[in-house]
Amino acid sequence: MATKAKFQAIRGTRDLLPPETALWNRVEQTAHEVFATFGFGEIRLPIFESTDLFSRAVGGETDIVSKEMYTFSNPTSLAAMVRGGRTEGMLSDMLLSEAEMISLRPEATASVCRAYIEHNMQQLPQPVKLYCMGPMFRRERPQKGRYRQFYQIDAEVLGGTDAPAIDAEVIEMVMTFFDKLELQGVLLEINSIGDRNCRPKYVELLRAELSKVKDKLGPDSQRRIETNPLRVLDSKVKEEQSIIEKLPRMADHLCEDCATHYSAVKHQLEMRGVIYRENWRLVRGLDYYMRTTFEITAQGLGSQNAVCGGGRYDGLVELLGGPPTKGIGFAIGEDRLILSLQESGKAPAQQGRDVYIAWMGERAHATAIRAAKDLRKAGFSVELPPVEQKFGKALGQADKLGAKYALILGDNEVSEGLWTLKTLADGSQAKYTEPDLLAHLRKSL
Ligand code: AMP
C-alpha cells in the first residue's frame, strides 16, 4: 500500500499562526498609522516581475541576483504560443528566444521605481512618498531570523530634491515607528558611501590597499577584492578585523558635495532628536545605493540583528529608463522585528475571548444566537458553542479559551429575562437584564 505523503512547508518558509499573527497585525497597523502621519501612501506591488528589472536595479554581480532569486519562464507566453497554433517542434525552439524570464521579488525598491516610471508619477507633486509591505523571496541559507520567504515593510521617497532633511525625515519616521512599538535596544548606524564622483576612486584605493594584504584575508574577502571590495568592510571574520581597521575610510575621501550632504544629514538628525552612531564600515549589499546609508539593529536577534537597512539611490529610476530622479528608502525585516518584540516580552499574550456563551436547551439556543449577534455587534469577541454542553463542560471550555466571562443561558434565565454572567477570574456571578448586561460589559471590558 502506498504510504500517504506527509506535506510540510518548504525549507526556509513557515506558517505564521495565531496568536502570533495578532502581533503581525499590530505591527502592520502601526506602520500604516505612523507612515500616514508622515504623508506616505500605500502601494501594492506584484509578487513577481521581469528578471531583468532586478538584475538591472539590484546588480547582476550581487549575491541576491546571481544566486538567490527564484526565477522561471513565464508560462503565459507558452500558452500564447500554443493558442497561436505553433507546433510542438517549433515551440521548443521558440521557448528559449521568446519566453520571458520572471522572478519572485527579492526586494521592493526596484518595483516601486518601476511603478513610479510606469504611472508617470514624476507628474505628481514631488516628492512621491510610498510604502508597501509583503513577502520577499531569496534562496539564502535558512537560520534564525533568515528565511527564504520573509516579510519586509518598505518605504521610498522619490523625486524632488535630495535635501538632507529628506534623508533625516525618512530615518526619523522609521525610528518613530520602532519607538511606538517599544522595540528594545534600537541602535541606528549611519554612513555616507559617496557618489559617482568620489566612490569609484575610493573603491580603487581600497582595492589597491586590499591587494597588499591579500594573503592575510580569508577566501571570501580575497574574492571580493575583485568583485566588490566595499563588501570586505562588512566582514565579520575575526582574523580580518585588525587589518580592516587600518584600511582607508570613505569619510576621508568624499567629494565636497557628498561631505557637505553628509554633515547636513547628521545636523538634521540632531535637530530631530534622533540618536545615531557613525559606522564607517557600513556598506549596503545592493549596487544602487549612494551617499546616506543606514542600518538599524535591535536586541534579541543573535547574529542576524539588522531589522532595517536603507539609503539613498539617486540614479536608480534613470537606470530603469525613467527621468533623472532622486530617491531614498528603507526596508524593515518584519520577521526580525517580530522576533525582537517577542524576545523582549512586547508580544501580546494569547488572545482570549471576551464572552463564552454556555447555553442549554432549544429556547436558550435561540436566545444565545441573538445574544452573540448583539455582543459581536458591540465589538466583543464571543464564542458560541455549536452544540449543547453540560454547564460544567462549557465552563471548562471557556477557561481553556481564556474567556473573561461566561454568559450562562438556561431555561430559568430565558423565562425570567435575567441572564447570569460569571467572571471566570474569581468565579463571582451576577444577574443582569439584557440591556444592563451590555452596559456592564462595555464598562468592564
Ligand atoms: P536588504 O533588503 O537586504 O537591505 O534587507 C533589509 C532588511 O530585511 C534586513 O535588515 C533584514 O531585517 C531583512 N532581511 C533581509 N533578508 C532576510 C531574510 N532572508 N530573512 C529575514 N529577513 C531578511
| Amino acid letter for position 177 | F
What residue spans of 84-198 are helical by DSSP H? 88-98, 109-118, 164-180
Instruction: Specify the residue with its C-alpha closest to ligand 1, atom 11.
Output: 333
Q: Is pLDDT at 355 greater than 90 in this prediction?
A: yes
As a whole number, mean pLDDT of residues 122-132 equals 98
The reply to whether ligand 1 has any atom less than 6 angstroms from the CB of 107 is yes
The reply to whether ligand 1 has any atom less than 6 angstroms from the CB of 309 is yes
- Ligand 1 pocket, mutate which of 152, 283, 289 (most atoms under 8 A from CB): 152
Dist CA 284 CA 59 (whole Å): 12
The reply to whether ligand 1 has any atom less than 6 angstroms from the CB of 308 is yes
The reply to whether ligand 1 has any atom less than 6 angstroms from the CB of 155 is no
Q: What is the per-residue pLDDT across 431-444, written as a single tens digit (0 to 9) for each?
A: 999 999 999 999 98
pLDDT for the residue 301: 86
* Ligand 1 closest atom vs CA 296: 10
- Ligand 1 pocket, mutate which of 335, 337, 340, 341 (most atoms under 8 A from CB): 335
- For residue 133, name the pLDDT band (cuts at 50, 70, 90): very high
Residue pair 352/180 in contact by the 8 Å Cβ criterion: no
CA 68 to centroid of ligand 1, rounded, Å: 13
Q: Is pLDDT at 94 greater than 70 in this prediction?
A: no
The length of the chain in residues reads 445
The reply to whether ligand 1 has any atom less than 6 angstroms from the CB of 234 is no
The reply to whether ligand 1 has any atom less than 6 angstroms from the CB of 314 is no
| Amino acid letter for position 207 | R
Q: Is pLDDT at 1 greater than 60 in this prediction?
A: no
CA 338 to centroid of ligand 1, rounded, Å: 13
Q: What is the per-residue pLDDT across 156-212, written as a single tens digit (0 to 9) for each?
A: 999 999 999 999 999 999 999 999 999 999 999 999 999 989 999 999 999 999 999
pLDDT for the residue 289: 86
Instruction: Specify the residue with its C-alpha closest to ligand 1, atom 4.
Output: 309
- Ligand 1 pocket, mutate which of 140, 148, 150, 154 (most atoms under 8 A from CB): 150
Dist CA 29 CA 51 (whole Å): 31
Residue 278's SS3 state is strand
What residue spans of 197-255 are helical by DSSP H? 199-212, 219-227, 241-245
Q: Is pLDDT at 92 greater than 90 in this prediction?
A: no
The three cell numbers of residue 31 are 506602520
- The CA R_g of the chain, rounded to the nearest whole Å, is 29
**Selection from 301, 296, 199 nearest residue 250 by Cα:** 199
Dist CA 291 CA 254 (whole Å): 9
Instruction: Specify which residues 78 forms β-bridges with.
Output: none
Q: What is the per-residue pLDDT across 294-338, written as a single tens digit (0 to 9) for each?
A: 999 999 888 888 999 999 999 899 999 999 999 999 999 999 999
pTM of the entire predicted model: 0.90
pLDDT for the residue 423: 96
**36 sits in which H/E element:** helix 20-37
* Ligand 1 closest atom vs CA 295: 10
pLDDT for the residue 302: 84
Q: Is pLDDT at 275 greater than 90 in this prediction?
A: yes
**Selection from 360, 370, 373, 362 nearest residue 408 by Cα:** 360
pLDDT for the residue 234: 86
Instruction: Specify which residues 379 forms β-bridges with.
Output: none
pLDDT for the residue 307: 97
- For residue 227, name the pLDDT band (cuts at 50, 70, 90): confident
| Amino acid letter for position 175 | M
Q: What is the per-residue pLDDT across 281-294, written as a single tens digit (0 to 9) for each?
A: 998 766 678 999 99
Residue pair 341/137 in contact by the 8 Å Cβ criterion: no
pLDDT for the residue 350: 64
Q: Is the dihedral of CA 366, 370, 375, 379 positive or negative?
A: positive
The three cell numbers of residue 164 are 538632507
- Give the whole-number percent of the chain exceeding pLDDT 90: 80
DSSP type of residue 298: -
DSSP type of residue 221: H
CA 134 to centroid of ligand 1, rounded, Å: 12
Parallel/antiparallel/unpaired status of strands 327-333 and 355-359: unpaired
426 CB-near residues (< 8 Å, 6+ apart) = none
**Selection from 387, 366, 368, 388 nearest residue 376 by Cα:** 368
Instruction: Specify which residues 297 forms β-bridges with.
Output: 187, 306
Residue pair 404/424 in contact by the 8 Å Cβ criterion: yes
Q: What is the per-residue pLDDT across 32-69, written as a single tens digit (0 to 9) for each?
A: 999 999 999 999 999 999 999 999 998 877 888 888 99
Q: Is pLDDT at 344 greater than 60 in this prediction?
A: yes
- Provide the mean pLDDT of the chain: 91
Instruction: Specify the residue with its C-alpha closest to ligand 1, atom 18.
Output: 146
The reply to whether ligand 1 has any atom less than 6 angstroms from the CB of 333 is yes
pLDDT for the residue 445: 79
